[in-house]
Amino acid sequence: MLQYAVLGSGSSGNSYVFSDGTVSFLIDQGYSVVELKRRLERFCIGLETVQAVFVTHLHPDHAKGVGILCRRQPAGAYISSRSMLEQPDQFAKLGIPLQQVFPVEPFEVVEIGPFSLFCFATSHDSAGSVGWFITYEDQNLMVLTDTGFTTVEHKQLAKDANILFLEANYDKRMLETGPYPLYLKRRIDGSHGHLSNEQALLFLKDSGFAGNHIYFIHLSDVNNDPALLEKAARRTIQTPFTVCHKNQWYGPQPEAL
Ligand SMILES: [Zn+2]
Ligand SMILES: [Zn+2]
């Protein structure tokens, strides 16, 4: 049976787990191993079942725990070849044993147990950033985070997804009137920054997403308010959704909530 969970999302750490009970993998690993283990246990998933980590990009909140996990157990780290080539220092800093590194290209299919995955390009201030599309039996799951804008390709993929993990980083008005210096505001709302609540909701409409559930992820704790997003989402979409509060965990299994 497919299990999945948001282990945590936001600027202090990001990780998502997918499992069939025997084989598990992560998208991103921004935690210490102790913290990761604690979060996995909440969903009754053993750390030792984690066979791979698929990385969206090399920012520390997404990638800083990949090396420590791979040094502890023989998990493979799947990273876009462009991010390794164009950010050699950041990549080296992760300290992943090289025999466990698997560089991937967009749309190159990787099989892990009963799962197959491929990545697709996103637009972020970390070269070679990607999102991931996962297939398990007849279920498709998509993780789209840390992107300044969405593309036609993203929309086509979302149309085929059953479960969508979608960035809603900031509320436009809160960002504009908030405490960040102007250069940072322009970085966040620029084409290599993050998706706003408005962009995320428009994306859902434009893509014709017809899946079962949306997890809104990577909310800024300074420039967003989960209640605001919740209200706006209720007005515009019919699909059940979860607004993931900073650093909290979310899964579909009621006993894990
Ligand atoms: Zn980032
Ligand atoms: Zn991020």
Report the alpha-carbon distance of residue 67 to residue 13 in Å, rounded. 15
Query: Distance from the CA of 104 to the center of ligand 1, in angstroms?
Result: 19
CATH numbers and ranges of domains, the chain:
3-250 (3.60.15.10)
Query: Distance from the CA of 68 to the center of ligand 1, in angstroms?
Result: 20
Is the pLDDT at 256 greater than 80? The verdict is no
Name the nearest CA neighbour of 144 among 128, 171, 170, 123.
Answer: 123
pLDDT at 73: 97
Name the nearest CA neighbour of 100 among 63, 70, 60, 66.
Answer: 70
Query: Distance from the CA of 189 to the center of ligand 2, in angstroms?
Result: 14
Query: Distance from the CA of 21 to the center of ligand 1, in angstroms?
Result: 30
CA distances from 14 to 48, 49, 217, 250 (A): 19, 19, 9, 12
pLDDT at 46: 94
Query: Distance from the CA of 146 to the center of ligand 2, in angstroms?
Result: 5
pLDDT at 248: 85
Summarize pLDDT for 51-88 with one digit per residue, the tens: 999 999 999 999 999 999 999 999 999 999 999 999 99
Confidence category of residue 255, pLDDT binned at 50, 70, 90: very low
Query: Distance from the CA of 15 to the center of ligand 1, in angstroms?
Result: 13
Query: Distance from the CA of 106 to the center of ligand 2, in angstroms?
Result: 19
Percent of the chain predicted with pLDDT > 90: 93
Is the pLDDT at 132 greater than 70? The verdict is yes
Return the number of other C-beta atoms located less than 10 Å from residue 214's C-beta.
24
Query: Distance from the CA of 133 to the center of ligand 2, in angstroms?
Result: 18
Q: What is the mean pLDDT of the chain?
A: 95
Summarize pLDDT for 141-178 with one digit per residue, the tens: 999 999 999 999 999 999 999 999 999 999 999 999 99
pLDDT at 71: 98
| φ/ψ of residue 228, rounded to 5 | -65, -45
Query: Distance from the CA of 205 to the center of ligand 2, in angstroms?
Result: 24
| Structural tokens at position 165 | 């993990």
Report the alpha-carbon distance of residue 17 to residue 24 in Å, rounded. 7
The string of DSSP codes covering 52-94 is EEE-S---HHHHTTHHHHHHHS--EEEEEHHHHHH-HHHHHHT
Ligand nearest, relative to CA of residue 90: 1
Ligand nearest, relative to CA of residue 30: 2
